[in-house]
Structure 1
Amino acid sequence: MTDQRYTALVLAATRGNRDPLAEAGGVSHKAFIDIAGQPMLRRVVASVLDSGRVGRVIVQIEPGSTEEAKAILAPLGADGRIIFAPSADSIGASVARAAEAFPEALPMIITTGDNALHTGDLVRYFCDALDKVEEDAALGLTAASTVLAEYPEGNRAFHRFRDGGYSSCNLYALLTPRAVEAARIFNSGGQFGKKPKRLIGAFGLFAFLVYKTRLTRLRTFLKFLSRAIGVKTAPVVIPFAVGPIDVDRMVDWELANRIVGERETRKAA
């Protein structure tokens, strides 16, 4: 196995003061909702640790939720490898804060507290691919054909290009100090697939128009964006259908419970 060398940043903060999923789950925080018998945050952190490619995990969450998060993650038995840090007002600001507070953390992978379906194998695949990346940053995506072949009910937002559709796995990597500068593109909240007009604010009108024409291939478009922000970014296509299915809505929560429940039933058989 390749030596562990990545730090994982788990972005677990909520958006706003009221979260319908947290209320429906009877918990104080969206990341604490139950997924097939375990809190979602525990499943996310476990997937990162189970990859065998991560030496340390930084969990960014609101200060008022830190103690509860510590209790939720305690059963993983990885206290010395898990660090808690306060989140900022936006995704971009949170990433920048983490990079500043932990300058030795690069190279860093970034995941989110609602990636309940990610597994150690999926995270390992991403990290193994990163070993060969020469760019400053990378993002994980799964082809639409892969997702829809297994989960047509997943209702993902796809980026459409000449070589097909892709959906973000909410899995990113900052590989060089220059990559930290790219975090600013998430200050508007990211989720460019669900709200592609955010590309205008992040990259400019021309980038948005190129995106909408669907005349370029994925890698070509990323090269264009890389020039726009001055940070070379590589795509990592992840062949796991569950990769882009995060838990943002009730329908996602129901789907995640079913998938994880079936997965664990097969494992126990």
Structure 2
Amino acid sequence: MSSSIPAIVLAGSRPGPDPLLTGTSVSTKALLPIGGHAMLVHVVRALRGSPLIGPITILAQNSAELAAEPGLAGLAGLHFVDSGQGISSSLAAALPPGDDPLLVTTADNVLLMPTMVAEFLAGAEDSDVAVAMVERDVLLARYPESKRTWLKFRGGWWSGANMFRLRGRRVLPLLDFWGRIERDRKKGLKIVAAFGPWLLIGALLRLFTIRQGVARAGLRFGLKAKVVPMSEPEACIDADKPADIELIEAIFAARREAAIGQPL
């Protein structure tokens, strides 16, 4: 991949109270400190550390509040844009003109590393829509205590890794569709069923792999869609629940120890 692509970080708040913020003075999840920094800072630094990523747009209901975060000071190429209430409509409004590719991730994807970005973008080439995912055995081999939402297909159970590559505005019909079902994003079978009865039956009977299922779903919108399996299990550990925070803090501590042990 010879040139960099833009990135969008979804950093808004969902409707209703967030249990992660209970008892804190933090107003929005993206600014909740983990491992010594706000969640958003970890994600933006990882993106900025990748030579494959160009300008970064941060979408949130109150983007000025995020722009004032001291941990982002001095990082180049950051743009802050106010979003609406829905992820899909906000993302659709932020897409650049044309159909050049861009990366989308989330502010709670705090374990993101430049190596993950490189692996994902290499696997996402030649697609209109690509989704990063981790197979269950990959995660549980290292973190058996981690509990995720799994999509069950022939040949494996999969969890999303909060990275997407989109070919610009050609994905607008898909985003419009997602806007109607995103409230069920944690209910795997409801998501599959929304793409039609054949996909639901195929998933229930394990008639095809997740790669085949995602490809079929993309065809509904005239898009070439693919799954990019991630080799690093941390790719699907986002900060959703208090138990996630504990695990992420432990992973950050292990990373710091490993960095200290490396030769100069």
Aligned to 2:32: 33
Shift of 1:191: 6.3
Matched, 1:96 2:92: yes
Secondary structure of 2:145 counterpart: helix
Aligned to 2:167: 175
Q: Does the CA-based 8 Å contact 1:200-1:207 persist in structure 2? A: yes
**Alignment equivalent of 1:77, drawn from 54, 74, 77:** 74
Q: Does the CA-based 8 Å contact 1:25-1:34 persist in structure 2? A: no
Matched, 1:258 2:250: yes
- d(CA) in 1 for partners of 2:237, 2:54: 25
- TM-score using structure 1 length: 0.89
Matched, 1:114 2:102: no
Q: What amino acid is aligned across from residue 247 of structure 1 in structure 2?
A: A
Q: Does the CA-based 8 Å contact 2:38-2:71 persist in structure 1? A: no
Secondary structure of 1:247 counterpart: coil
When structure 1 is superposed on structure 2, of 137-146 and 211-220 the one drifting more is: 211-220
- d(CA) in 1 for partners of 2:24, 2:260: 26
Q: Does the CA-based 8 Å contact 2:151-2:188 persist in structure 1? A: no
- TM-score using structure 2 length: 0.90
Aligned to 1:184: 176
The 1:35/1:104 distance shift into structure 2, 3 A limit, reads farther
Q: Does the CA-based 8 Å contact 1:47-1:119 persist in structure 2? A: yes
Q: Does the CA-based 8 Å contact 1:159-1:193 persist in structure 2? A: no
Q: What amino acid is aligned across from residue 77 of structure 1 in structure 2?
A: G
Matched, 1:146 2:138: yes
When structure 1 is superposed on structure 2, of 225-234 and 190-199 the one drifting more is: 190-199
Secondary structure of 1:125 counterpart: helix
Number of residue pairs aligned between Structure 1 and Structure 2: 260
- d(CA) in 2 for partners of 1:15, 1:22: 12
Q: Does the CA-based 8 Å contact 1:46-1:120 persist in structure 2? A: no
Moved runs in structure 1, 4+ residues, more than 6 A? none
The 1:258/1:191 distance shift into structure 2, 3 A limit, reads farther
Q: What amino acid is aligned across from residue 115 of structure 1 in structure 2?
A: N
Aligned to 1:222: 214
Matched, 1:67 2:59: no
Matched, 1:126 2:123: no
Shift of 1:16: 1.2
- d(CA) in 2 for partners of 1:197, 1:20: 24
- d(CA) in 2 for partners of 1:35, 1:224: 38
Structure 2: 5+ residue runs without aligned partners? none
Q: Deviations over 1:169-210 (max 9, x none)?
A: 011011253223322243132664544213333x13332222
Aligned to 1:23: 22
Structure 1: 5+ residue runs without aligned partners? none
When structure 1 is superposed on structure 2, of 204-213 and 167-176 the one drifting more is: 204-213
Q: What amino acid is aligned across from residue 189 of structure 1 in structure 2?
A: E
Secondary structure of 1:108 counterpart: strand
The 1:267/1:76 distance shift into structure 2, 3 A limit, reads farther
Matched, 1:162 2:159: no
Matched, 1:87 2:61: no
Secondary structure of 1:170 counterpart: strand
Shift of 1:77: 1.7
